Amino acid sequence: MTTYTPMIQQYLQVKAEYKDAFLFFRLGDFYEMFFTDAVEAANILEITLTSRDGGGAEKIPMCGVPFHSAEGYIETLVRKGHKVAICEQTEDPKVAKGIVKREVVKIITPGTITEGKSIDTRTNHFIGAVDQIEANRFALSYVDLSTGEGKVEIVTGDERTLISEVEALSMRELVVRERLHIVLSDSMSKRNIVLSIEEGEGEQLSAELTEQLPPSIRESCEMLIAYLKRTQKSALDHLQPFEYIQKSGKLSIDANSMRNLELVQSIRTGGKEGTLYWLLDETVTAMGARKMKSYIHQPLSNQNAIEERLNIVEDLIDDYFLREELKENLKEVYDLERLSGRISMGSASGRDLSQLRNSLRKVPAIKQALQQSKSRNLTHFANKIDCCETALDLLEKSIAEMPPLSVKEGGIIKDGFDAQLDQYREASKHGKEWLAELEQNERQRTGIKNLKIGYNRIFGYYIEITKSNIHLADLTRYERKQTLANAERYITPELKEKEDLILNADAAGQELEYALFCSVRDEMKAHIRTVQQLSSVLSELDVLLSFATVSEKYQFVRPKFHKGHALEIKNGRHPVVEKMMDHSLYVPNSCSLTEDGNMLLITGPNMSGKSTFMRQVALTVIMAQIGCFVPCESALLPITDQIFTRIGAADDLASGQSTFMMEMMESRYAIANATANSLLLFDEIGRGTSTYDGMSLAQAMMEYIHDEIGANTLFSTHYHELTHLDTELKKLTNVHVAAIEQDGKVVFLHKVMAGAADKSYGIHVAELANLPQPIIERAKRLLVTFESKELEVMSDHGAEQLSFFDGQEQIVEPSETQLEVINEIEQIDLMNMTPMQAMQTIYNWKMKLKDKQEVK
């Protein structure tokens, strides 16, 4: 260390405290990085790597970025999973003795970044912390630092269950203790989730933040807040009380089911389009969009709370003009939650306070419109709106209508707010008017039309005359100040006198104005809770307006709930599929699960619509329990406590799990956690293994769900052998998705009908996919062979005969006579035969087969 220069020694001392972060070390107008930080950052950011003499034997690697454009570089590093420590000068260089003092003022991490082009303001950006309460029980707390929202829940299950919940919430960073870091590090790194260790004492939380939390889950909250305070190094007054997500009050949807049902993210594209969120989101505010997503993540399971939302949605549907008026006013409301966060952390600009003021101006009109409604539900909702008059009054008096982005160059504070500032502005204004008059007088006195008065920071104010016009000037009045290539710059005594007045007024005014702005911003912190409560009410209104708009547009109906388990959906539709196709072409289907028959076994060909039918039932339940109308003619629903699905097949490459293993693990999780009030959707369980293995597993699962759990269940399969279970399981009913053959082609009717399907039409589907015709023809021939229990395998070396076995017992291969009878059965025109002809034909078949047996 002693061999390095004092500045490099200072850098190394700071870096030693932040080894896991890139250190952005402020030097003048740049953030500089040195040593390995510089080498790695230059590669990631694609900037030039240079070097400098640091006092050691060799030059030190170095790279840097301009401080005024550092945000984009920081965002790139954080997006790639790195942390950035911002080290600023904390001492005025003019008064520093020796090297300027520098300190880290903020650490930006994947979970705490709040600004940038990659930050979607319509989505929560959570950072979480997890504490293991006991074996297979974790307390998971999470906060959106930009809005102050905090939630905590108990995750029951192994580490994989915990990881699924973290993924479902799209967290980029998780704070843990050392013992959990070891357990989770590999899995999290594969998923690009940063694990941060917090081993210090948890932050003692105020009663306000934890008043409704059981003691067992407080440690994760305390650990998270301690980490946030250590990294942000600023006040976090905007953090809201942690909401305890209790399983009893919500419809639980695990991460796998959220993915399978495509609630907020498309399986195919990973984006929003094609999801339930995409269908329902017609919100006009960013905070409304975030609340919409939170509703979908955690639907209600309290019937009274659901009915309250449905009542408001129904009243909004009935009053179109009120709905449009409310939406127009809400469009003018900015993101109150994020504005509150910036104010609390001291990063709000004049533009932010202006947006807050403009938003609060719209609130009285929104409240009045609701109060004047004829609906008691809407007038009651209006009573929850606080117009924040005190905060609005302060902002109206202090903040200019169109403040600049910069907070240190003036123009933020209104005239009349502060008498001293007004005096400075008056002096500056008159001084500038005097300069304009002086310029005009000098032009008239000298006759030089292009004479001008200018200013720069080094020389101050000056009179500039081009060299071609110097002979016209009275140089006895001018004192030369600066010589340029094509002009001379002069000063006069009176100009010098005014310069001091103007510059002093400008500098003093800007300094005072910045102090006033900071004072107003600090005073606004006292109103943050009120503004946050307002934002919660307005975002809820935005979501309910969106529900009403979508429900009217797509002709959804209000669902009805009852205390039992029966589920009756008449002519239901998959709302997302319907939106993406022509509404008139969509085939609706009913679903009936009764108290005595709450398990459907669904058969039918691929592409016929089995999975779509199952998903639409689940989406109808979810939409109903978030308080939205539903896509059907009528719906009578039970209150569902959990939804589990196993739909689709995809290997989990991140953890090295095969499709079949994923299928079994998801099925195990569902069966282990489901109750009689749950909804289970299983699509073609067992297809990832051999036929008999798969069939056995599927039947055993159905029997267990039927006998032990009793949950409403939709179970689709291609194993037609399972359809006999309706004679053994009293609550099971066979249904199928219909298809017919026309001219050798399959036509999907997409209609769910009673009974089991008679064929799978797999080869027809392959033909629709334009598989080469030789393959199709060969498959048809093989199918005939398979169905007659004879398998012929051809190879370059000839053919060999294989027989089917069922356990130890060989199945007898059909004889030529038997095949002849089978062929006659297939060709017979049964509908045009008389009863006597039919009896004679059957007698002839019997005699043929008898003769064959006697010959043997």
Quote the CA–CA distance of 522 and 344 in Å, as a whole number.
Answer: 8
DSSP codes of every residue in 498-554? HHHHHHHHHHHHHHHHHHHHHHHHHHHGGGHHHHHHHHHHHHHHHHHHHHHHHHHHT
Quote the CA–CA distance of 196 and 277 in Å, as a whole number.
Answer: 31
463 three-state secondary structure: strand
User: Burial letters for 781-799: b for 16+ Cβ neighbours within 10 Å, e otherwise?
Assistant: eeeeeeeeebeeeeeeeee
DSSP codes of every residue in 757-825? -S---HHHHHHHTT--HHHHHHHHHHHHHHHTT-EEEEETTEEEEE--EETTEEPPPPPHHHHHHHHHH
Quote the CA–CA distance of 707 and 704 in Å, as a whole number.
Answer: 5
609 is in an annotated binding site: yes
Q: Can you list the alpha helix ranges (DSSP code H) found in 372-480?
A: 376-382, 389-398, 419-446
Helices (H) and strands (E) in the chain, counts: 27, 31
589 is in an annotated binding site: no
Distance of CA 252 to the CA centre of its chain: 18
State how beta strands 791-795 and 798-802 pair. Answer: antiparallel
Quote the CA–CA distance of 100 and 94 in Å, as a whole number.
Answer: 9
For residue 312, how many other CB atoms are within 10 A of its CB? 23
Quote the CA–CA distance of 557 and 438 in Å, as a whole number.
Answer: 76
608 is in an annotated binding site: yes
53 three-state secondary structure: coil
390 three-state secondary structure: helix
Quote the CA–CA distance of 218 and 840 in Å, as a whole number.
Answer: 84
Q: Which amino acid does the sequence have at 782?
A: L
285-288-293-299 Cα dihedral, nearest 10 degrees: -160
Quote the CA–CA distance of 627 and 544 in Å, as a whole number.
Answer: 8
- Helix (H) or strand (E) run with residue 152 in it: strand 149-156
**Degrees, nearest 5: CA angle 335-336-337:** 95
33 is in an annotated binding site: no
DSSP summary character for residue 239: P
130 three-state secondary structure: strand
794 is in an annotated binding site: no
611 is in an annotated binding site: yes
Known binding positions: 604-611
Known binding positions for ATP: 604-611
